[in-house]
Chain A
Amino acid sequence: GNSVTQMEGPVTLSEEAFLTINCTYTATGYPSLFWYVQYPGEGLQLLLKATKADDKGSNKGFEATYRKETTSFHLEKGSVQVSDSAVYFCALSKNHKLSFGAGTTVTVRA
């Protein structure tokens, strides 16, 4: 079946540090890939997406590239802010269902 494995947290960083959250997937065919974010006390929001191999999704300084050869979709940000503290979920969409990773809690300290 389809599944997503993402880096376990929690991750604690200082402001302006570089953030990477690893995500790999298992799926048949060509799924679309997403990163969703859940800020404290808020609902799930789409952060970025990529729908085919070698696509790069980007938003709010975050980037992720769809790598079919390594079945990966790692999330990166070059300089994090305190406001980036949240839970990040990697997900794939196949046959209209989203399959999510377990989530990675990121805390950014001032």
Chain B
Amino acid sequence: GAGVSQSPSNKVTEKGKDVELRCDPISGHTALYWYRQSLGQGLEFLIYFQGNSAPDKSGLPSDRFSAERTGGSVSTLTIQRTQQEDSAVYLCASSLASGGRDTYEQYFGPGTRLTVT
């Protein structure tokens, strides 16, 4: 079946502009995650959605970052007033409902490479 898809695959933006990154999870997966992969910081958790529960936003680095998930499926990560340090690969993942357990594997999309000039 189809995996996690993300768009765009590459995004170049000017400092100060807003960007939106999109993620389509695997059908039937109710848990969705955003991570960031950068040279300096490695792979970092950003945010987690599970069904209709309030998202876990504990990994968002600043209030310029926000995310939403509409209809329990597609998610959008928005970065406002982008800075050069936001340059990274943004990864989306999905999994079956975690239900408080941590045994389900997360399936990753190909990522969006964001470059802020």
Contact = CB atoms under 8 A, between A and B. Distances in A.
A-side binding surface: helix, strand, loop or mixed? Answer: strand
Nearest to B47: A97
Interface stretch (B20-28, B60-68, B72-80, B108-116): B108-116
Interface stretch (A13-21, A43-51, A70-78): A43-51
A5 B29 CA distance: 30
Contacts of B102: 31-32, 51, 93-96
Interface string A86-107: 0001010111111111110000
Nearest to A93: B102
A34 B42 contact: no
Interface in A2-56: 31-32, 34, 36, 42-46, 49, 51
Interface of B: 31, 33, 35, 42-43, 45, 48, 50, 56, 59, 91, 93, 98, 102-103, 105-111
6 contacts: A31-B102, A42-B110, A43-B91, A43-B110, A49-B105, A98-B106
